[in-house]
């Protein structure tokens, strides 16, 4: 079997035994990327020379001393700087920027034995759930190259689905990690705040003109992989405190890789096709409910239920606008002609927000989280579609309507994802099946506060029952429609 088809977990065993080396893995990836990436455009920036230098330095240590990943290559989303590697944020404003230092998350990963070899494509500043930008162009869905791979972590999802990565990072505010996982039939995990450090690890990691680009009350970074055990492996390598992020949490005693083998299953599960706040494609609703009900075979009760999420638009849209204003105000004032219209809209929306609006939304948020917390006192898990539609044509900038309902802006179709974002609770997108047209559908699984261990365990049990894991990696299915 080709190295490309191995799981990350298998390769860790091979690395520790000496059966393969990090250099072998880099050779396999470089060959695969040369063959596949021209068809999908997922990895526009490669850094194999840096990767091989780091691999050779790591190989001077005994395998047991090489960290959690032991020299396994990892692809990094192009919103997180990597020292000495072109980092663009998908924006022509920064198309030639090369940071002097890495993001905190990258620092932690490399200290745990990760070898960074590529940056993955993203929409400009991660805005919009369709991966295209003026620097590198579109990233295409490998299940049908005429379709969107979603976003904003689309490059990472496509690289995983096509065998150009065993592990990759993503980030998530409005579902930016869960949406592409759903569209590409891979696994994406949004952890609790503080589990993974993020932000500038040192001077020169972020250009001064980005202002507070990393500011967001809801944004996190997280792991992406082809299956749940590999996802847990990467999560273990990403977590922990970093002095560059004072809000990051120290590692606790839990090994999240062990969660997938624990056998824990939920007793009471809630399913909702729409959370009572969004339209949903009927085929997506049917597939995800069928998948959710597999928990009944594992001994759980599955019921229709969801928290009261009725305030989500006011809370999320207001906070998102403030975040974009803080991070990008300088760019709007000095580089407006180089920003895409969706980013301009999000920045300008903040100018309509008053202090009274902020006070109102903060009060709504407190009540929202209280209701969600109480809900998870009754239910172990909340399940729903990860996205409300299957992959859509790539030339569409975003989904404008669903089931006859017109959306008021470019991110409203992501409501089912950011309803969970607002809680701050962990969530995962797990492959749930395929439409009649062969396009992937993802199941969103959510758990209560800091319940990553239980969520990963439950996702692993469901994944084993579904047996969809061998579906990737694939060669791209080239299509004009």
Closest CA to 462 of 427, 432, 438: 432
Q: Is 176 a catalytic residue?
A: yes
Burial of 409 (0-12, 13-18, 19+ CB in 10 A): middle
Q: Is 185 a catalytic residue?
A: no
DSSP 122: -
**CA torsion, ordered 218, 222, 225, 227, to nearest 10 deg:** -70
Half-sphere exposure of 276 (CA within 13 A, CB side): 9
Is the Cβ–Cβ distance between 48 and 30 less than 8 Å? yes
Strand order in the sheet with 187-190: 45-46, 115-120, 73-77, 167-172, 220-225, 187-190, 427-434, 440-446, 381-385, 268-271, 301-304
Rounded-to-integer distance, Cα 28 and Cα 36, Å: 12
| Annotated catalytic residue, options 176, 214, 272, 429 | 176
Rounded-to-integer distance, Cα 178 and Cα 355, Å: 32
Is the Cβ–Cβ distance between 97 and 54 less than 8 Å? no
Q: Is 329 a catalytic residue?
A: no
Report the length, in residues, of the chain.
481
With a CB cutoff of 8 Å and minimum separation 6, the contacts of 60 are: none
Is the Cβ–Cβ distance between 115 and 74 less than 8 Å? yes
| Annotated catalytic residue, options 148, 152, 384, 460 | 152
Rounded-to-integer distance, Cα 382 and Cα 465, Å: 18
Rounded-to-integer distance, Cα 397 and Cα 388, Å: 16
Rounded-to-integer distance, Cα 207 and Cα 204, Å: 6
Q: What are the DSSP E strand ranges found in 4-114? A: 45-46, 73-77
Rounded-to-integer distance, Cα 194 and Cα 192, Å: 6
DSSP 195: S
With a CB cutoff of 8 Å and minimum separation 6, the contacts of 317 are: 349, 409
| Annotated catalytic residue, options 9, 77, 214, 257 | 77
Neighbours of 397 (CB within 10 A): 16
DSSP 225: E
Catalytic residue numbers, as ranges: 77, 152, 176
């Amino acid at each position: 079997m080709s190295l490309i088809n191995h799981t990350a977990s298998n390769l860790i065993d091979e690395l520790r035994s000496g059966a393969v080396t990090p250099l072998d893995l880099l050779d396999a990836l470089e060959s695969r990327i040369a063959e596949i990436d021209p068809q999908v455009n997922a990895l526009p920036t490669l850094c194999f020379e840096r990767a091989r230098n780091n691999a050779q330095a790591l190989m001077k240590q005994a395998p047991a001393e090489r960290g959690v990943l032991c020299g396994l290559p990892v692809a990094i989303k192009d919103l997180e700087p990597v020292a000495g590697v072109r980092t663009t944020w998908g924006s022509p404003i920064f198309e030639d920027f090369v940071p002097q230092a890495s993001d905190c998350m990258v620092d932690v990963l490399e200290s745990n034995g990760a070898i960074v070899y590529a940056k993955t494509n993203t929409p400009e500043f991660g805005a919009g759930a369709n991966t295209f930008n003026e620097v590198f162009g579109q990233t295409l869905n490998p299940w049908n190259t005429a379709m969107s791979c979603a976003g904003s972590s689309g490059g990472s999802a496509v690289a995983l689905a096509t065998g150009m990565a065993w592990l990759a990072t993503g980030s998530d505010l409005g579902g930016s990690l869960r949406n592409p996982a759903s569209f590409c039939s891979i696994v994406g995990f949004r952890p609790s705040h503080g589990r993974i450090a993020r932000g500038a690890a040192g001077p020169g990691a972020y250009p001064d003109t980005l202002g507070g680009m990393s500011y967001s009350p809801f944004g996190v970074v997280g792991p992406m992989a082809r299956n749940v055990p590999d996802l847990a492996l990467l999560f273990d390598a990403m977590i922990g405190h970093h002095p560059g992020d004072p809000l990051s949490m120290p590692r606790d005693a839990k090994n999240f890789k062990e969660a997938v083998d624990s056998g824990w299953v939920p007793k009471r599960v809630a399913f909702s096709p729409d959370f009572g706040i969004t339209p949903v494609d009927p085929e997506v609703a049917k597939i995800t409910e069928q998948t959710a009900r597999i928990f009944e075979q594992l001994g759980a009760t599955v019921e229709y239920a969801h928290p009261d999420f009725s305030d989500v638009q006011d809370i999320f849209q207001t906070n998102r606008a403030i975040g974009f204003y803080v991070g990008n105000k300088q760019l709007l004032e000095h580089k407006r002609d180089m920003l895409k219209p969706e980013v301009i809209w999000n920045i300008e929306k903040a100018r309509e927000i008053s202090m009274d609006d902020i006070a109102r939304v903060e009060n709504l948020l407190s009540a929202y989280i209280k209701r969600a917390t109480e809900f998870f006192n009754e239910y172990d898990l909340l399940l729903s579609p990860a996205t409300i539609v299957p992959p859509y044509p790539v030339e569409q900038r975003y989904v404008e309507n669903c089931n006859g309902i017109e959306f008021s802006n470019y991110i409203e179709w992501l409501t089912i994802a950011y309803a969970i974002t607002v809680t701050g609770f962990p969530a995962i997108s797990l492959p749930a099946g395929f439409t009649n047209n062969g396009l992937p559908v993802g199941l969103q699984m959510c758990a209560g506060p800091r319940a990553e261990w239980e969520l990963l365990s439950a996702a692993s049990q469901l994944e084993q029952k579904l047996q969809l894991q061998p579906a990737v990696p694939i060669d791209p299915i080239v299509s004009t429609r």
